[in-house]
Amino acid sequence: MDQNRNKKEISFVIKASAAYYDKFPLRSAIQGIPGLGGALDTMLAGLGAKYQYKRLEDFIINLNKRLEHVEERVNIEPSEPLFDLMMHTFDQVRRTRSEEKRKQFANLIANQVTRQCDWNDAETACRLLGDLTELHIETLSTFVHAKINDIKNNGELTISDKWSDRKVFDKNKSRRKRVSDIRPHLLSLTNSAILMICSELVSKGLLYDAGVGRMDVSAMEIFVATDFAQWLMDWISDSQEE
């Protein structure tokens, strides 16, 4: 089996690199780039194809692990929606350097196999995951867990020193509630990076800007996860670990 796999890997690398090998003027131009040309030529001539192969292999291993423990075997018949979903997933996986994100793609496919949801929903989740980075997912996960574990305060988190661990009025201004700071959960990120990530998540409908329309809170300071965010996390999470 290992020998057959190695043969397939070699064949894959050769086919992926053939087009580049044939373009001698392009290779000559790339090799002439000072300081960078040699590395680029090495990657494009074969190493880059190996990177992609390893990413796909890692995805397949994760998908196999997710499905081998499914108690009730479910078989999905070949279909056009299945083909489209898998081709799009393969394309995303080969571009994904993050091991965690590749695992999330495997979870998404496994969840579709076991739950047999609408194919359009699966494709939407796949496209959305492809648009997000690992930092987006990490940030979003923090908001989602806050909403689940803090129903009373609706899971609102702040990225502002002004409201960190302080009380603000709720929307109807009938009472004040405490808003916690998300930044201690994202120590590797600067305030500017967190703000940028949150604004991008708002634009995709995954976070809600809780400061809009309120007198005591400014916009882009306090956020809460939307139901759409929980929907996405359900798609990309391993239900066996929940």
Q: Cα–Cα distance between 84 and 78 in angstroms, integer?
A: 11
Provide the 8-state DSSP code for 182.
Answer: S
Cβ atoms 169, 176 nearer than 8 A: yes
**Treating both helix axes as pointing N-terminal to C-terminal, what angle do 80-94 and 99-115 enclose, rounded to 10 degrees?**
170
Backbone phi and psi for residue 66, each to the nearest 5 degrees, phi listed first: -70, -35
Residue-level pLDDT, tens digit, the chain, 242 residues: 455 555 555 454 455 555 555 556 776 776 777 777 777 777 666 666 778 888 888 999 999 988 887 756 677 788 899 999 999 999 999 889 999 999 999 999 999 988 889 999 999 999 999 999 999 999 999 999 988 776 555 678 888 877 665 555 555 555 556 678 899 889 889 999 999 999 999 999 999 998 887 777 788 888 999 999 999 999 999 865 54
Cβ within 8 Å of residue 62, ≥6 positions away: 102, 103, 106, 107
- Residue 46 C-alpha from the chain's centroid: 27
Structural domain span for residue 227: 134-241
- The answer on 232 and 198 residing in a single domain is yes
Measured torsion, CA atoms of residues 124, 129, 132, 133, in degrees rounded to the nearest 10: -170
In degrees, rounded to 5, the angle at the alpha carbon of residue 133 between the alpha carbons of residues 190 and 138 is 65
Give the total number of structural domains in the chain.
2
- The answer on 99 and 141 residing in a single domain is no
End position of a domain, from candidates 63, 98, 131: 131
End position of a domain, from candidates 131, 160, 181: 131
Please give the structure tokens belonging to residue 189.
Answer: 């990120």
End position of a domain, from candidates 96, 131, 166: 131
- The answer on 189 and 76 residing in a single domain is no
3-state secondary structure 103-167: HHHHHHHHHHHHHCCCHHHHHHHHHHHHHCCHHHHHHHHHHHHHHHHCCCCCCCEECCCCCCCEE
- The answer on 154 and 121 residing in a single domain is no
Strand ranges of the sheet holding 207-209, from the earlier edge strand across to the other edge: 166-169, 176-181, 157-158, 222-225, 207-209
- The answer on 126 and 14 residing in a single domain is yes
Q: Cα–Cα distance between 206 and 199 in angstroms, integer?
A: 10
- The answer on 148 and 125 residing in a single domain is no
